[in-house]
Structure 1
């Protein structure tokens, strides 16, 4: 039977690769590299560097394909996600059919961890439901930007006896801020934290976590909000893309 590995490769630092991931890399014959656009060559390069660094021998191959782009102007967010997932399922089905032979193993190298705000697991389940391809798959966890953010700022994600909430910028935008105690925010393209500068919050912000381009800022939100917004805009303009994560924490009286 064919097998697929979903390998979490961390938040950007090749040293974040786990021993389990290295073993999985060395059991894989074909790696699927999804190209999200020319502006993200660094992300493609990292995946290739990881293979060269950790795989013993050269009896593997890389298959690079264009990742379908999610349309932002469909009737609703959910409709856009559904269309995008179906496009990706068709692509994944073709890749597994044409590139992975019986008894072989293919792999998708997933940024961060396959279980946290990544669609690859859902796409593989969708491919199996389509019924044209039969395969088994294994998930290898990775270091997320959430973990890297806490480590680089040298903080725990929660305080004693308090929960931690992980969400997206889209969801945070629906909050009035009253429910923010310890909130980690991912996938925020619009600096949603700026809406809460009048509240007594502290922010721990990081971009390009784990890479040589890493940027870290922390402080009272009212003091550093404008600074983060300006630095984020400059970094995005310079590189053509940005990946950032932050923790909002309410100050205790």
Structure 2
């Protein structure tokens, strides 16, 4: 059997790991670290640093090349194909490095439950007939890191919160009946497509890292500043992870 631990590691800051996460890392026989193939990306370096700082047991750490998703108009189809390719890659790594079973750990940005497909990919291993038991060790999400960085509550008093993606925001506009919206996975500044009147935005990139960037203000004023900062940061670092919260203001709301 493969005991697969999916470990939430927050936004890349080793201090974001819980004691449970550190324990799970040190109990593993193998930790797999994905390389995304971008020479400018330091995402693999962040995972390496987490292992260097938090591993106290002789855990084997193996790096592998992550398949690349095809950029096609069929978004869901390309994602399904990509997940299948990743599952096949995991299976090959498991066969090579844990042929007799054991404890495998994967380090997941944020938390495996929130806009992350690792659980769906792990399920493909089970559907393929592998003897896999999945455990999830929760981590700090980018949403938690964002609200903490801006020192704001996630929700208004007694109100719900809508979580969506940049792709959905661009395609459908402001979610119906929503007052507070959190947007993840927005690579194209979808906030700039909204009528800005009455909307405030709290944006953050590289949350919890030394080069954390934060911008807050009325959307009309903040949108061009965020777009400019985002492009500059991406060019400088070769990658960017960001998230933002928007609220429609209402007099007297708390």
Please tell me whether residue 252 in structure 1 is matched to residue 253 in structure 2.
no
- 1:235 is paired with a residue whose SS is helix
Match of 1:55 in 2: 55
Question: Which residues of 2 match residues 201-220 of structure 1 at below 5 A?
Answer: 201-220=199-218
Tell me, yes or no, if the aligned pair for 2:41 and 2:238 is still in contact at 8 Å. no
How many residues align structurally?
250
Question: What's the TM-score once normalised by structure 1's chain length?
Answer: 0.94
Match of 2:87 in 1: 89
**Alpha-carbon offset, residue 184 of structure 1:** 0.4
Match of 2:70 in 1: 71
Q: 1:134 and 1:234, CA in 2 relative to 1: closer, same or farther beyond 3 A? A: same
Partner Cα distance (1:177, 1:76) in 2: 23
Question: Which residues of 2 match residues 187-198 of structure 1 at below 5 A?
Answer: 187-198=185-196
Indicate the RMSD between aligned Cα atoms, in angstroms.
1.4
| Superposed CA offset, 1:60-113 (max 9, x none) | 11111110111112x511111111011111111111222124352111111111
Partner Cα distance (2:22, 2:44) in 1: 18
Unaligned runs of 5+ in 2: none
Q: 1:103 and 1:76, CA in 2 relative to 1: closer, same or farther beyond 3 A? A: closer
Partner Cα distance (1:174, 1:129) in 2: 33
Match of 1:25 in 2: 25
Given the alignment, which residue of 151, 161, 168 partners 1:164? 161
Partner Cα distance (2:97, 2:8) in 1: 21
Worse overlay, 43-52 or 113-122: 43-52
**Alpha-carbon offset, residue 174 of structure 1:** 2.5
Partner Cα distance (1:16, 1:9) in 2: 6
Please tell me whether residue 146 in structure 1 is matched to residue 152 in structure 2.
no
Unaligned runs of 5+ in 1: none
Q: 1:247 and 1:32, CA in 2 relative to 1: closer, same or farther beyond 3 A? A: same
| Superposed CA offset, 1:183-233 (max 9, x none) | 000000110101124331000000011111100000010111111111111
**Alpha-carbon offset, residue 176 of structure 1:** 3.5
| Superposed CA offset, 1:128-174 (max 9, x none) | 1011x212121101101110000000011100011011110011112
**Alpha-carbon offset, residue 119 of structure 1:** 1.1
Please tell me whether residue 227 in structure 1 is matched to residue 222 in structure 2.
no
**Alpha-carbon offset, residue 38 of structure 1:** 2.8
Partner Cα distance (1:187, 1:80) in 2: 16
Partner Cα distance (1:249, 1:242) in 2: 23
Match of 1:177 in 2: 174
Worse overlay, 169-178 or 147-156: 169-178
Please tell me whether residue 114 in structure 1 is matched to residue 120 in structure 2.
no
Partner Cα distance (2:210, 2:117) in 1: 27
Which aligned runs of 4 or more in structure 1 are off by greater than 3 angstroms? none
